[in-house]
Structure formats: structure tokens, C-alpha cells
């Protein structure tokens, strides 16, 4: 399988990207899942503490609002984590940044908010039926190594190039 994606600009300049493989994508996802899990555990622990305190003092309506707010925050962490980081770090989550991967559109341009939202909402399909099975199969079977979310959003995950310095050129 050819792991190089070429994009030609209207000015006839050709950019080549190396597509990220299944292994590096899995490692990046593992890093992200660990971060999400840490935030989730902390949030659920805080929510449990508030619930147990509100059982001891049922007259406090403020705790119920805090529990509702924390539940919404945890939902946001689960579903907004990737969108937030992909917008803040130009197509990279912490896991992708660590492994030098980036999400871009198939035409080589930067990912946009709409792309990231669609890509990550479709993540639920990639999880089916269990443990990201559909996503793995899609990455293996597609020419550009795209999961369902990538196919729907028109994105690819590429390896980030090493920066070239003047010293590198001289050498």
C-alpha cells in the first residue's frame, strides 16, 4: 500500500504527505484515552463526593446544580476533547502531537471546525461494535488509511515532517 498522499495546488506545486499507519494512530489514541480517562475519573470522583454530601444534607439545592454542571462538563470532555485540541493545535490532539501526527483535509489544507466536529461525532460509528473495530477495519481497507470519521469529514491523518534547518541544508 502506498503511504504517500500527493496534493497538487493550482500553482502546480505538489505536496507529499506520509499517511499515518494503524500503529502510530493507535498509540496516539492510547495517550488521548489516558488523558480523557484521568479527567473523567477526577470529574466522577468530584461528582460522587458532591452527591454523597448532598445525601447527608438534602436541603442544599446548590449541590444538585453542581452535579448537573459537572455531568455536562464530563460529557464535554468525552465529546469535545478532540475538537478542542484539533482547533487549538492545528489538527493535533496531545496524543497526535506526541507522536508527530496531524489531521488535515484530503486536499492538504488545514482542518476546519466543521471537519473536526463531523469527524469526531462519527467516532461513535468507529467504536462499533466494540473497541474501535469498525475504525480499525476502515483504516486497513481504505486507500488513504481513513477511519469512518475521516471518510465522512474528508480528512486524513499524516505524519508531520521534521523541520529543516539551515544547518541541515549545509550538512
Percent of the chain whose predicted confidence (pLDDT) is above 70: 89
Condensed to tens digits (0 to 9), the pLDDT of residues 81-116 reads 999 999 999 999 999 999 999 999 999 899 999 999
**134 vs 73 pLDDT, higher one:** 134
Residues facing residue 159 across a β-bridge: 101
Average pLDDT over residues 110-131: 91
d(CA 162, CA 171): 16
The residue that leads in pLDDT, 123 or 70, is 123
Residue 7: CB atoms within 10 Å: 16
pTM recorded for the entire structure: 0.80
How far apart are the C-alpha atoms of 91 and 41, rounded to whole Å? 26
Task: State the pLDDT at residue 92.
Answer: 96
**Tally of domains in the chain:** 1
pLDDT tops 60 at residue 1: no
The confidence band for 45, taking pLDDT boundaries of 50, 70 and 90, is confident
Q: Taking the C-alpha atoms of 75, 79, 84 and 87 in order, what is their torsion angle to the nearest 10 degrees?
A: -160
Q: Print the domain residue range for 99.
A: 4-170
What percent of the chain shows pLDDT beyond 90?
50
Q: What is the mean pLDDT of the chain?
A: 86
Cα atoms in the Cβ-side hemisphere of radius 13 Å centred on 83: 18
Structural contact between residues 10 and 21, judged by C-beta atoms closer than 8 angstroms:
no
Q: What is the mean pLDDT of residues 38-45?
A: 84
Amino acid at each position: 500500500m502506498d503511504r504517500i498522499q500527493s496534493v497538487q495546488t493550482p500553482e502546480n506545486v505538489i505536496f507529499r504527505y506520509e499517511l499515518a499507519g494503524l500503529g502510530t494512530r493507535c498509540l496516539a489514541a492510547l495517550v488521548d484515552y489516558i488523558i480523557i480517562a484521568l479527567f473523567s475519573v477526577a470529574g466522577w470522583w468530584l461528582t460522587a463526593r458532591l452527591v454523597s454530601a448532598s445525601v447527608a444534607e438534602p436541603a442544599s439545592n446548590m449541590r444538585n446544580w453542581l452535579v448537573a454542571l459537572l455531568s455536562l462538563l464530563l460529557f464535554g470532555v468525552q465529546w469535545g476533547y478532540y475538537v478542542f485540541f484539533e482547533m487549538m493545535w492545528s489538527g493535533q490532539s496531545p496524543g497526535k502531537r506526541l507522536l508527530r501526527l496531524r489531521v488535515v483535509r484530503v486536499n492538504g489544507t488545514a482542518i476546519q471546525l466543521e471537519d473536526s466536529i463531523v469527524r469526531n461525532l462519527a467516532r461513535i460509528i468507529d467504536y462499533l461494535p466494540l473497541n474501535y473495530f469498525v475504525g480499525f477495519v476502515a483504516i486497513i481497507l481504505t486507500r488513504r488509511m481513513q477511519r469512518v470519521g475521516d471518510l465522512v469529514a474528508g480528512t486524513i491523518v499524516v505524519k508531520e515532517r521534521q523541520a529543516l534547518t539551515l544547518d541541515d541544508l549545509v550538512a
